[in-house]
C-alpha cells in the first residue's frame, strides 16, 4: 500500500539531511510501529506522508500513485488531542467532514456512529473541558476516523497520558484496529507499547536515516498484556532497546 523509494529530504535552510536514499514498504491492513531516538526523523516521516513536505529525491506512493496525486488517503492524529474548546464533542468529530462541505445531517449521523464505536455515546453534547484525558483522545481518534482515508498516522497519541490511562487506551486501540479495515502507522518512543500494539516494528537507523531494521512481533492478533511476559517477547524488547541505545551513541 505504502512505498518510499530512495527518498532523500533536508529541511530548507538546513545542511543536515533527515533522510538519504531511504526506502520503506508497508502492506495494507497492517499495524506498524515506527520507533527511533529523538530527532531520528519519525515526525518528518509523517510530514512527508501527509504531503506537508516534499522529498528532494525519490518518490512516495500509495497503491502505486504518487502522494501529490492522492486525496484523503490518510488521517493524522497528533500527540495532543487539539480539540476546539468552543465546539461540542459532536462538532469536533464532525469538523473534517464539515470542512469538506458534506451535508450536515450526514456529518452528524457519521459522527454519532463514530462516538458510539469509541464508547462515547451520550457524550456528544459535552465540551472538551468536561472530559478526562483518555476520553479526549478517544474523541480525537473518532475525528481522525471521520477524516476518511485508509491509512491512519498516529503520532505518539498517548504520550501525555498517565500510565494507567495509557495502558487502557493501548488495549482499546488494539481492539479498535481488530474491527477496522485500516492500515495504522504508529510513532512511539515506548518499546513495550510498540510490541503490544504492532504486528511489525520498524526502527529508523542512521544519521541521516538511510534505512530501517524490521522486527516481526510474534503475537496473535487477539492478544493480552500477559503475553508481554513471554520469554520470546522479553528477548524482542531487549533487542529493540539495545538497537536504540547503539543508535543513540553513534
Asked whether the beta carbons of 81 and 144 are under 8 A apart, the reply is no
Diameter of the chain measured on Cα atoms: 55
Task: Give me 127's grid cell.
Answer: 465540551
* pLDDT in 10s for each residue of the chain, 250 residues: 788 899 999 998 888 888 999 888 888 888 999 987 776 788 888 888 888 888 999 999 988 888 888 877 888 887 788 899 999 999 999 998 888 888 888 989 989 988 888 888 889 999 999 998 888 988 988 888 888 778 888 888 888 778 888 888 888 888 888 887 788 999 888 899 999 999 999 998 878 888 888 999 999 988 899 999 999 999 999 999 998 887 766 6
Write down the pLDDT at residue 128: 93
In whole angstroms, give the CA distance from residue 30 to residue 206. 25
Domains and CATH numbers, the chain: 2-73+151-249 (3.40.50.300), 83-148 (no CATH)
Residues of 101-140 as b/e, b for ≥16 C-beta within 10 angstroms? eeeeeebbebbbebbebbebeebbeebbeebeebbbbbbb
3-state secondary structure of 232: helix
Cα–Cα distance for residue pair 87/110, rounded to 1 Å = 17
Amino acid at each position: 500500500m505504502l512505498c518510499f523509494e530512495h527518498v532523500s529530504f533536508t529541511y530548507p535552510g538546513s545542511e543536515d539531511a533527515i533522510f538519504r536514499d531511504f526506502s520503506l514498504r508497508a502492506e495494507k491492513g497492517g499495524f506498524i510501529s515506527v520507533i527511533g531516538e529523538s530527532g531520528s526523523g519519525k515526525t518528518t516521516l509523517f510530514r512527508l506522508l501527509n504531503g506537508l513536505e516534499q522529498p528532494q529525491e525519490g518518490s512516495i506512493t500509495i497503491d502505486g500513485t504518487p502522494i501529490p496525486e492522492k486525496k484523503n488517503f490518510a488521517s493524522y492524529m497528533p500527540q495532543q488531542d487539539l480539540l476546539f474548546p468552543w465546539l461540542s464533542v459532536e462538532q469536533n468529530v464532525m469538523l473534517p467532514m464539515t470542512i469538506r462541505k458534506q451535508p450536515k445531517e450526514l456529518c452528524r449521523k457519521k459522527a454519532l456512529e463514530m462516538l458510539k464505536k469509541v464508547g462515547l455515546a451520550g457524550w456528544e453534547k459535552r465540551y472538551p473541558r468536561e472530559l478526562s484525558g483518555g476520553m479526549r483522545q478517544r474523541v480525537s481518534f473518532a475525528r481522525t476516523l471521520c477524516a476518511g482515508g485508509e491509512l491512519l498516522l498516529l503520532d505518539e497519541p498517548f504520550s501525555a497520558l498517565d500510565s494507567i490511562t495509557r495502558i487502557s487506551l493501548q488495549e482499546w486501540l488494539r481492539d479498535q484496529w481488530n474491527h477496522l479495515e485500516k492500515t495504522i502507522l504508529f510513532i512511539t518512543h515506548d518499546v513495550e507499547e510498540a510490541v503490544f500494539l504492532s504486528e511489525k516494528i520498524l526502527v529508523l537507523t542512521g544519521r541521516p536515516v538511510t534505512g530501517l531494521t524490521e522486527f516481526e512481533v510474534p503475537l496473535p492478533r487477539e492478544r493480552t498484556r500477559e503475553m508481554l511476559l513471554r520469554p520470546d517477547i522479553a528477548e524482542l524488547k531487549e533487542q529493540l532497546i539495545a538497537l536504540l541505545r547503539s543508535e543513540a551513541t553513534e
